[in-house]
């Protein structure tokens, strides 16, 4: 894989050479925090690209998010996901695929709640690497925090489109480049070098529309947002920033002393839901025609 110096998302691709919004972004995983990566913004579609090639197997080894467990915090977040899916038509008889399901915690959560026709696929997790699922058709396909990790987002989205018949529902959750600033180097949505391409809302919508879909609903919050104290995106990102902008502390035992010493963190722990971040987007698409 070569360096990315030309946008691979839009019809009038910008290039690294002409980019005016460029930054050297540190990795936000503790093990690699001293490594820097060049991120640049396409002058046409405003999507963000990680310029350098990276030996991703090295970075995904012992990846913190692979340690996630279905704990009470995640159950609250997944409850939010489930409510949104039910509004879009998910029922207990729906067939659904979680594409890029990771350790499968959301699949497990849904099955525990009576959704017996839910499957998970993830090429990098042995338990969920059954590629025969990719030749099937589903009523609903969801893909959370996946497309930004793909070297070729168009190819990834094309695969998702083929998993649905006309009338099927595709739900994509991903960072939104429109609201990710390269001046804030610790922005979690940058997440270098794991996030290869962070799409703008326009780029994502244009690509999926090209594959025969129509945008049905846009939700501009991250699914972890809730009214429970400290369970909101604003607090989580501020807490991470207070600990050096690293991902690891979010998956480690909480450090109450850090919060208690900070009036800002205390405020956001209680009221952060009302001050949502804008760096993520969840779009529901309905398949209108075969691509």
Which residue's entry shows tokens 């070729």? 152
Q: Is 241 exposed, middle or buried (0-12, 13-18, 19+ CB in 10 A)?
A: middle
CA dist 169 and 50 (Å) reads 30
- Per-residue model confidence (pLDDT) at position 63: 84
Record the pTM: 0.94
The residue to which tokens 């991703």 are assigned: 56
60: Cα separation from own chain's centroid: 16
Q: Give the 3-state secondary structure of residue 213.
A: strand
Structure tokens at 269: 């722990």
Q: Are 47 and 176 in contact (CB under 8 A)?
A: no
Alpha-carbon distance of 128 to 46, in angstroms, equals 34
Write the DSSP symbol of residue 140.
E
The two three-digit tokens of residue 129, written as one number: 């690497």
Predicted confidence pLDDT, tens digits, the chain (291 residues): 578 999 999 999 999 999 999 999 999 999 999 999 999 999 999 999 999 999 988 998 878 877 778 899 999 999 999 999 999 999 999 999 999 999 999 999 999 999 999 999 999 888 999 999 999 999 999 999 999 999 999 999 999 999 999 999 999 999 999 999 999 999 999 999 999 999 999 999 999 999 999 999 999 999 999 999 999 999 999 999 999 999 999 989 999 999 999 999 999 999 999 999 999 999 999 999 887
- Residue 67 has a pLDDT of 72
Fold of 71-222: Rossmann fold (3.40.50)
Residues of the chain with CATH 3.40.50.150: 71-222
Q: Measured between alpha carbons, how far is 24 from 35 in angstroms, rounded to an integer? A: 10
Angle at 12 between CA 51 and CA 277, to 5 degrees: 60
Residue 291: predicted pLDDT: 73
Phi–psi pair at 165, nearest 5 degrees: -85, 170
Reported in sequence order, the residue ranges of 70-163 that DSSP labels E, i.e. its strands, are: 96-99, 118-121, 138-144
**CA atoms of 73 and 252, how far apart (whole Å):** 13
């Amino acid at each position: 894989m070569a360096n990315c110096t030309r946008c691979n998302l839009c019809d009038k691709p910008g290039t690294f050479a002409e980019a005016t919004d460029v930054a050297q972004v540190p990795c936000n995983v503790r093990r690699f925090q001293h490594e820097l990566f060049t991120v640049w913004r396409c002058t046409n579609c405003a999507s963000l690209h990680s310029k350098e090639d990276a030996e991703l197997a090295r970075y995904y080894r012992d990846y913190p998010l692979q340690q996630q467990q279905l704990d009470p915090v995640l159950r609250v977040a997944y409850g939010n996901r489930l409510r949104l899916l039910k509004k879009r038509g998910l029922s207990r008889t729906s067939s659904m695929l979680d594409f890029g399901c990771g350790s499968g915690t959301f699949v497990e959560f849904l099955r525990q709640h009576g959704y017996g026709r839910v499957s998970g696929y993830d090429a990098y997790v042995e338990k969920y690497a059954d590629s025969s699922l990719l030749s099937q058709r589903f009523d609903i396909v969801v893909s959370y925090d996946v497309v930004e990790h793909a070297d070729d987002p168009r190819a990834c989205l094309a695969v998702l489109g083929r998993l649905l018949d006309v009338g099927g529902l595709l739900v994509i959750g991903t960072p939104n480049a429109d609201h990710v600033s390269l001046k804030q180097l610790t922005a979690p949505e940058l997440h270098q070098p794991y996030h290869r391409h962070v799409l703008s809302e326009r780029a994502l919508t244009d690509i999926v529309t090209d594959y025969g879909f129509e945008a049905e609903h846009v939700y501009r919050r991250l699914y972890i947002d809730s009214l429970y104290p400290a369970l909101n995106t604003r607090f989580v990102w501020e807490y991470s920033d207070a600990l050096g902008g690293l991902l690891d502390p979010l998956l480690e035992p909480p450090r109450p002393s850090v919060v208690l010493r900070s009036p800002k963190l205390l405020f956001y722990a209680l009221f952060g839901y009302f001050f949502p971040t804008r760096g993520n987007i969840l779009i529901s698409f309905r398949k209108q025609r075969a691509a």
